[in-house]
Structure 1
Amino acid sequence: MSPENLASAATRRLADKRAGPAPDAIPGAPGMSDVMAAAARIRGLADATPLVPAALSDRLGVELLLKLELCQPTGAFKLRGAVNAVAQVEGPGVVCCSTGNHGRAVAFAARQRGLRAVVCLSELVPQAKVEGIRAQGAEVHLAGRSQDEAQVEATRLAEAEGLIEIPPFDNAHVIAGQGTIGLELLSARPDLEALIIPLSGGGLAAGIALAAKAIKPGIRIIGVSMDRGAAMAEALAAGHPVYVTEVASLADSLGGGIGLQNALSYPLCAALLDEVVLVSEAEIYRAMQAVFHAERLVAEGGSVVGIAALLAGKLKLTGPAATVLTGRNVDMAQFKRVINGEPVTLGALELEGQHHEP
């Protein structure tokens, strides 16, 4: 299925809310009270990131605001869910599976509490993220070349060593923590008409949508992912979680499966999202350049997929909108190639260089 057809299929299924349970009917799913409790729990440690006007607004023809989660102490939004989850752990330590940013966040949160942290990663995770996790004092286990293989190792360690597993997205505490972004967005700008959210395992999108729609039911929630290996988009189109082969991507933080037994983030996304948009690697490349040159920000490819969709004309907005710049933990060598307009190799894909055009 082409990326365009996949996005359309996912969006069509999202339009039929009769196809799945309502958010409050999903067993074990967090509610607005959990998001409010998370906001109190993470206060002063992982909250209150800036919300700023985008310099790109005039070019895009719509008022766009940027939620700068890349200003978090660990460089990414994942700290919110990790702090909320680790704060509720009783045990000798924690273990998680991650594409990088969740592992760094769990390591940071565990260190604050004096707990042991073990992070399981696939071999596709950029070295910069591996080093960032180790710098937080965590033990790193590399396992296979997919998120699913790393997950198997995390589950094994939890059972063998009595560690408490902190899932990266399919967990009520994690989703509630990410939902605090939705609270902050609508507290600052109640007039927002749309939220454009990077879409991967769905913890971020589910949490923000849960909070935002509780406050403003008519707000439009748009999930955006890369057009190769988009696990949540594939699941939403199919009507159930599916296995998706991982590929190297500029949006590496959006890679990985959502788990065939996904119990929370998938059904919440199915119930709460309004639209799915997919963007190409070339579009992500140009968006990384635009954010660097226009906004003066270093942002991961996974952070800028919303801006990529807008620049490519794949989203039509009529009123104020916000997107979340989710992280800054780039592979600096690769990032410099993008900014300088040089070619980039992504596994079997050779991405042509292209100089930034203001």
Structure 2
Amino acid sequence: MTLPVSPADIAAARHLLTGAVLRTPTLPAPRLSAITGAHVFVKYENLQVTASFKERGALVKLASLSAEERGRGVVAMSAGNHAQAVAYHAARLGIRATIVMPQHTPIVKVAATRAHGARVVLHGEGVAEASEEADRLARAEGLVWVHPFDDAHVIAGQGSVAAEMLEDAPDLDTLVVPVGGGGLISGMAVAAKALKPEIEIVGVETMLFPAMWNALRQRNLPCGGATLAEGIAVKNVGSLTREIVSALVADVVLIDEPTFERAVNIFLTQQKTLAEGAGAAGLAALLAEPDRYRGRNVGLVVSGGNIDPRIVASIMLRELEREERIVSFRFSMLDRPGELGIISTLLGRLGANILEVEHKRHFLDVHAKGARLDVTVETRDRQHAEEVHRALLTEGMDVVRVDWQAGG
């Protein structure tokens, strides 16, 4: 079978990338192994200058341009990481770059792209609309397209990720890879299968954007919605990438948003590394189906680390709530001096650290002589939270747990 990208193409790409793109480490992750039951190795592509693997494919494509094409300038469409990669390496090579990004691209990614000297055009609700605008600009201004995934040069560049992983961890038997348009998994599949034909490659998409899943199964699940993994929020995959994935990838799985959040949080708290939603997709797959990977030597790619700090803070707090390390209690009590002091003293004695207090009197469901008190506390774990609740009830408190995620 002849595929659009060959192992020789990837070898040539690796030679070109040497010294221009960081050869990131692939390291064992004992903590992730303990959590998932697999023997996990992580490839840290978030250590690249622009914090994602996209530099590889972008540079290979830009280096392939003729002098006439370089003089015309390039245009790219991206929700962030491809944008930064094209902008950064275009500046290095003296090529004028225009980047079209969806209007709601995270500010951190827009600012980083502009910082590399590119002209940024914000257009459309998603990558489909942005792609149409980029195509219009290419025709109107004679710019050369640098496609984010459906380009043989780009795919060859991304394949260098798997080649490096298998050099550093030759015992890997499974690669679990994020899938958007399919450029990364296509290149990695070509490289990995050439070096180790028996290796299994699994792709990961968010349930909200099952584009490759649809393409492989000839299904039409809807694509759309707000996802943490905006880097793989793609409605249409490439023709080249679909051909390669159909031939070489064992499966593509769909993962829900809470599992992506959990994976981002685990990378941060356990591995001390920052992964964006798409970059945590591989770990999310292991968390969703641990039995599938148990005991196997699994390679994961932290494909990017460009995530809004505000979103990171929100994820960490939400995970603390899911783990019941932050819990809320609602007290119904008489509105008289000393009641709040009694409650705070009791919570302190029980080892619960008070984070927030909200005192409510002016509600019709509160007795005219009473008050409602919402207290958010920090606990050690789920068992401790239950112990605190039982102890409050034993002390005669009129108290219930509040589930903020269920609407209170």
Relative contact order, higher structure (CA 8 A, sep 6+): 1
For residues 51 and 120 of structure 2, the distance between their equivalents in structure 1, rounded to whole angstroms, comes to 19
Q: How does 1:46-195 map to 2 (within 5 A)?
A: 46-54=21-29, 55-90=31-66, 91=69, 92=71, 93-195=73-175
1:118 match: secondary structure: strand
2:318 match: secondary structure: coil
Normalising by structure 1, we get a TM-score of 0.85
What residue in structure 1 maps to residue 8 of structure 2?
A: 33
Asked if residue 252 in structure 1 is aligned to residue 230 in structure 2, the reply is: yes
**Offset of residue 60 of structure 1:** 1.6
Which residue type is aligned with residue 333 of structure 1? R
Task: Say how many residue pairs are matched.
Answer: 321
Greater gyration radius: 2
Which residue type is aligned with residue 64 of structure 1? V
What residue in structure 1 maps to residue 353 of structure 2?
A: none
For residues 144 and 173 of structure 1, the distance between their equivalents in structure 2, rounded to whole angstroms, comes to 27
Q: What is the CA RMSD across the aligned residues, in angstroms?
A: 2.0
**Offset of residue 315 of structure 1:** 5.5
Unaligned ranges ≥5, structure 1: 1-21, 344-351
What residue in structure 2 maps to residue 207 of structure 1?
A: 187
What residue in structure 2 maps to residue 340 of structure 1?
A: 317
For residues 353 and 149 of structure 1, the distance between their equivalents in structure 2, rounded to whole angstroms, comes to 36
Partners of 2:98 and 2:120 within 8 A in 1: yes
What residue in structure 2 maps to residue 319 of structure 1?
A: 296
What residue in structure 2 maps to residue 234 of structure 1?
A: 214
2:170 match: secondary structure: coil
Which residue type is aligned with residue 94 of structure 1? V
Partners of 2:26 and 2:169 within 8 A in 1: no
Which residue type is aligned with residue 201 of structure 1? G
2:243 match: secondary structure: helix
Superposed CA offset, 1:55-89 (max 9, x none): 21122222100000000110000000001111112
Which residue type is aligned with residue 191 of structure 1? D
2:289 match: secondary structure: coil
**Offset of residue 185 of structure 1:** 1.0
**Offset of residue 190 of structure 1:** 1.7
Normalising by structure 2, we get a TM-score of 0.75
For residues 194 and 83 of structure 1, the distance between their equivalents in structure 2, rounded to whole angstroms, comes to 27
Partners of 2:77 and 2:83 within 8 A in 1: yes
For residues 125 and 256 of structure 1, the distance between their equivalents in structure 2, rounded to whole angstroms, comes to 13
**Offset of residue 162 of structure 1:** 1.5
1:120 match: secondary structure: strand
**Offset of residue 244 of structure 1:** 5.1
Asked if residue 216 in structure 1 is aligned to residue 193 in structure 2, the reply is: no
**Offset of residue 102 of structure 1:** 0.3
- Structure 1 residues 266 and 35 mapped into 2: Cα distance closer, same or farther (>3 Å)? same
Which residue type is aligned with residue 305 of structure 1? A
Partners of 1:95 and 1:118 within 8 A in 2: yes
Partners of 1:194 and 1:220 within 8 A in 2: yes
For residues 223 and 176 of structure 2, the distance between their equivalents in structure 1, rounded to whole angstroms, comes to 25
2:202 match: secondary structure: strand
2:176 match: secondary structure: strand
- Structure 1 residues 116 and 315 mapped into 2: Cα distance closer, same or farther (>3 Å)? farther
1:64 match: secondary structure: strand
Partners of 1:95 and 1:164 within 8 A in 2: yes
Unaligned ranges ≥5, structure 2: 326-380, 383-408
- Structure 1 residues 354 and 154 mapped into 2: Cα distance closer, same or farther (>3 Å)? farther
Partners of 1:243 and 1:257 within 8 A in 2: no
Consecutive aligned runs of 4 or more in structure 1 exceeding 4 Å deviation = 352-358
- Structure 1 residues 238 and 44 mapped into 2: Cα distance closer, same or farther (>3 Å)? same
Select between 38-47 and 321-330 the one with higher mean Cα deviation. Answer: 38-47
